[in-house]
Chain A
Amino acid sequence: MKYRNSKNILYLLTEEKVRPARFIEIYRRNCGDIHKTLEYFFRYKKLKLNGKSEKKDTDGFNGSLYRKAVSIILQNKADLLDIGQDGYPDILRQIYSPPLLLFYKGGKIKKSGFCVAVVGSRKCTAYGREAAEYIGKNLSRLGITVVSGLAVGIDSSAQKAALAERGGTIGVLGCGIDIIYPPENRSLYEQIIENGSIVTEFLPETPPLKSNFPVRNRIISGLCRGVVVVEAGERSGAIITSEMALKQNREVFAVPGSIFNPMSRGCHRLIKSGAKLAESIDDILEEFSQYQEQTLKACKNSDYDNSDVRSKQVRELTGDKLKAYEFIGHRPKSIEEIVKYTGLELKEALRALASLEIKQLIKEDSFNKYSRLF
């Protein structure tokens, strides 16, 4: 909290209730000069601009709301990033209504290079989870930062996978920086602080209101060059994010799914209306060739795809396992069907299924119904 401007903006937001849109308007009118903007507001409000002495970290503001916000930020070891500051992502500054202040934990946000968002439904299928992990992991392996909303389901799957690799991940919250939402992601939250960033524009102690999330989604797409929608129902937050992305002139990708799966409806609608179908990482990288010469070159000869291991495993299948695997298509089949049509005995079938499951070639999709993962 060394930056005077951030504190001045925080004061305006908490105590003086300045509307962010108004601030952005003045900011743009001043050609992006944060000092002039602040001076304008402080003169207008007949206040004294803080931070005459550079050395002193204390400030002269006394409003209780402001004080509380500052103390919460300090307590949570969070930090502030304002729109005029170096390290505020350029790409985010360009959107229609950029956040004035970003509260963040973890340093990634200040040196976030190239970002791609991976978003999707909270209630995802096994396939969706697998796809999110695949995309998150391989993007991150190429040094691309994966941005998402930290929700359960697709979001956290992609972020978990991205964490372990080079690119890291940025999570954008829909609540105050001091609130961990959803609480079951606490451990992920803490890991991200170490190798990534948690970011929010909401003031401390803002609860995760329903209305916050669409607002938050504009930051997710704003931080990124492209948005990959993995699994989304027909009316889903991921669809809102992709709409934001279009307004912000970002690329939109959609991962196709089964035509029988309602959770793929949204993705398929996106594809129909012009989103790029993303089958592999190459599909995504193709669109970014102008930005990332280096990245693209690197990926050509990298080992980002793990499908080789799987296809080798499939080739090595024999006997009951092969029989069962061949019968199970991508549409879920029940145990009763498997026993009936493969001619296997029940216990043989169960064992074959269990060992295929351990090899991660199939997955129990709904109760007692299995489908191929690969």
Chain B
Amino acid sequence: MFFKLDSFTLTGIDAIKVTVEIHISRGLPDFIIVGLPGKAVNESRQRVRSAIINSGFEFPVKKIIVNLSPADIRKDGSFYDLPIALSILAASDQIGGSIIRRSCFIGELSLDGSINPVRGLISMAEKARAAKKKYFFVPLRIARQASFIPGISIVACKNLLETVEALSGEKQIKKFIYKNKNVPDEGNFSGPDFRDVKGQLKAKRALEIAVSGRHNIMLIGPPGSGKTMLAQRAVSIMPDLNLTECIEVTKIYSLYEKYVNRLIRQRPFRNPHHTVSRMGLIGGGANPRPGEISLAHKGLLFLDEFSQFSKNLIEDLRQPLENKKVVITRNHMSYSFPCNFMLIAAINPCYCGYFGDDTKKCICSLREVKKFWKKMSGPVMDRIDMRVTAARLPESDFIKTGYAESSDKIRNRVKRSIDIQDERFRGKDIDYNSEIGIDMVNQWLKDNKKIRDLIYTISKKYNLTARGTVSILKVSRTIADLEESERIKDSHIIEAVHYRIGCNNNPDGIVSI
């Protein structure tokens, strides 16, 4: 007796279809799973057997062979409990009907037959739609996650018995189809607001520019200057995610944890501690999972105390910053996770933290300060377009009551500049000014002699690298967009220079330009 039905497995952020084939024959009673099963898949034999018996069905005392096809991709996780159980029931003629052939299944079984959640449901739902299936059977507890994908009916069952009931006919299945009732309101941001930040005008302005053009930014300042406070609020001035972005972000989060039962509408803000492992930051593992950089997809990755991160971790950021995705290769296949994030790095100016502070004296020798920055310089610093200093507030400013400009106002300006950028990049595969390539920058220089002369003087004076010059131009484009100016003007470039040569108040310029 042969039977087959469809299920899925995960490869990075995407799912692929897996066919669960079963053959029940006479012979010594046995239950084998083939097709590169992992430990969790092999253990599913015990769960399936108990679940079937405890749901009141009969577990055939025959030789059972299960094949997970394609057989050359390693399968891990508890996705296949439900499909295997149903295929056993179907192959032993305990259930029938045509619905089972038009459906696909995913779910982990408890010994008592109830269905438990699994990771990556939303990716699978998308794939199920692409495979032109009518019904997708999912665990009830996370059904909401799958329901955000339109064009497929989500069947949510509590246990194996309900699943069997749903499969018995079109009429019965209606009872179990999941309907998403309460869609949350658009853009209800409830995090910290910029109005709490007093002073720090320069840093706030810089963050506004950085968020508008998605420029990576480094905040440099002594302890207590409010770097963390500023960074935490940066996410509050980012425009809300649109639906496709929401689904993309939710996909990543559903790979990371099982119980994502909502659509993630807020921009992610990830703030990993500096002791984070390589795997935790970049992603990986024997069964690869997304790391912090992917969890910050479409949002902010804030690395506080950037200097405390190990040099290896900082170097590891290079490729993801450039490619906007990370590919993790294992011997059987490659997993790819998107990671289009904006980086905010916060750092003290030296070991003791007070270099350049005017009230507290720095106790580091100049050599120590240089050593401190040596770790930072090089390719990663090159990818950080803006460096801004944040000074400690004088006491008189600190106790002032009253609010500064609110995040809502800033967000409106940011939104407008992003609209302008969308207009500019229509039909191209980039979204923000920070992703502009050298060809476009050269075109600007060609068109405008005035800025060409200015940038020449500046790059000569500050001994800028080619990448430094390009990044100044990109930032000045964003400043022009914030002003809704068609062309880049001198003043825009001069302001952009300011954000590149910051922290330069020392003999040799501790930050490499």
Interface residues of A (CB under 8 A from B): 122-124, 126, 129, 152-153, 156-157, 182, 184, 262, 332, 334-336, 339, 346-347, 350-351, 353-355, 357-358, 363-369
Contacts and interface: CB of A to CB of B under 8 A. Distances in A.
Contacts of A156: 507
A346 B479 CA distance: 13
Contact of B201 (A152, A153, A335): A335
Interface string B453-472: 00001100100000000000
Contacts of A365: 358, 505
Nearest to B205: A346
A182 B508 CA distance: 13
Given A152-B508, A367-B221, A358 B201 contact: no
Given A335-B201, A365-B358, A366-B391, A124 B507 contact: yes
A366 B356 contact: yes
Contacts of B222: 367
B366 A123 contact: yes
A358 B497 contact: yes
Interface string B350-362: 0000001110011
Given A336-B201, A368-B202, A347 B495 contact: yes
A340 to B, nearest CB: 10
Contact of B505 (A184, A347, A364): A364
B494 A367 contact: no
29 contacts: A122-B365, A123-B362, A124-B507, A126-B505, A152-B508, A182-B367, A184-B508, A335-B201, A346-B201, A346-B202, A350-B205, A350-B495, A354-B494, A354-B495, A354-B498, A355-B494, A363-B505, A364-B504, A365-B358, A367-B220, A367-B225, A367-B389, A367-B390, A367-B391, A367-B392, A367-B505, A368-B390, A368-B391, A369-B391
A262 to B, nearest CB: 8
Interface string B220-237: 111001000000000000
B52 to A, nearest CB: 69
B507 A152 contact: yes
Contacts of B497: 354, 358
Closest 8 pairs (CB-CB, A-B): A367-B391, A366-B358, A354-B498, A368-B391, A367-B389, A354-B494, A364-B505, A351-B491
B439 interface: no
A335 B508 contact: no
B205 A347 contact: yes
Nearest to B392: A367
A127 to B, nearest CB: 11
Contacts of B389: 364, 367-368
A350 B502 CA distance: 12
Contacts of B205: 346-347, 350
A353 B495 CA distance: 9
B329 to A, nearest CB: 40
B395 interface: no
Contacts of A353: 498
A358 B505 contact: no
A367 B357 contact: yes
A356 to B, nearest CB: 10
A347 to B, nearest CB: 6
Given A368-B389, A368-B391, 6 more contacts: A336-B397, A346-B202, A347-B479, A350-B498, A358-B457, A363-B505
Contacts of A351: 491, 494-495, 498
A228 B370 CA distance: 27
Query: Which has the most chain A C-beta neighbours within 10 Å: B199, B222, B508?
Result: B508
A339 B494 contact: no
A261 B265 CA distance: 52
A153 B369 CA distance: 13
B148 to A, nearest CB: 41
A332 B508 CA distance: 20
B358 A369 contact: yes
B495 to A, nearest CB: 5
A335 B505 contact: no
Contacts of B220: 367
Interface string B386-406: 000111101001000000000
B377 to A, nearest CB: 13
Contacts of A346: 201-202, 205
Contacts of A364: 389, 502, 504-505
A153 B390 CA distance: 24
B85 to A, nearest CB: 65
Given A184-B370, A350-B495, A367 B358 contact: yes
Contacts of A368: 202, 389-391
B396 to A, nearest CB: 10
B464 to A, nearest CB: 12
Nearest to A123: B366
B181 to A, nearest CB: 47
A351 B357 CA distance: 23
Query: Which has the most chain B C-beta neighbours within 10 Å: A157, A335, A363, A366?
Result: A366
A129 B391 contact: no
